[in-house]
Homo-oligomer: A and B are copies of this chain.
């Protein structure tokens, strides 16, 4: 099967990082197809960037959805995931969603640890949007500048581990999630320094996308995720406009 690893950020280095982690975890027979946003911001971190980045994710999906079996919105925070699930026929999974739902099977409450203060409010809204706030022990963020976005996981490794350890003790977390695309792969490197299970967001997303494909779920034609009726559009990216106007099928 082919899984689109859709990075709605413009950082190809981060896409590369996630591809490495994801491909190692994929089942034999699963091919990850990377794509990186060509417009937007290097890494989405605020409500505003998520609003824009989610729309860009839809443009990217509109161009590629027919060529893959499922797609991963590969930014923690899941910009555009509910819209994508509504508009396209293939399964679409958010990286935050995949990590959180998987974490639920490894304990009662998961903690989220990330590398920048700015990400906290957006992540909190993401947890709430998925109805999982009750299962979240808390969100903890580093508060210091970093060098390169794609290497923040290496640069801040010790600080992130320390933050994780505090989340476990002070927030009573049973499971840990390192959140934010640049932290992909960190779980594996530091698992033995953290006394609870650590869920890697990319691995979780790949396995969940594989699960959805294995279930051979049909596209809804009823309920709130049926494809919206055709509607005229003005000034939108070509493939997305075609999809919304039902000119693509």
Contact = CB atoms under 8 A, between A and B. Distances in A.
Interface of A: 10, 25, 27-29, 38-42, 45-52, 54-55, 58, 80, 82-87, 91, 93, 97-98, 101-102, 104-108, 118, 120-121, 125, 129-132, 134-135, 168-169, 172-175, 188, 191-192, 195-200, 203-204, 207-208, 210-212, 214-226, 228-229, 231-236, 240, 244
Residue from A86, A212, A229 whose CB has the most chain B CB atoms within 10 Å: A86
A225 to B, nearest CB: 5
B48 A87 contact: yes
B222 A42 contact: no
B224 A108 contact: yes
A224 B41 contact: no
Contact of A52 (B58, B169, B200, B210): B58
A217 B235 contact: no
A97 B107 contact: no
A171 to B, nearest CB: 10
9 contacts: A38-B235, A42-B232, A46-B83, A48-B58, A82-B108, A105-B212, A195-B221, A197-B219, A204-B211
A197 B214 contact: no
A218 B195 CA distance: 8
B27 A223 contact: no
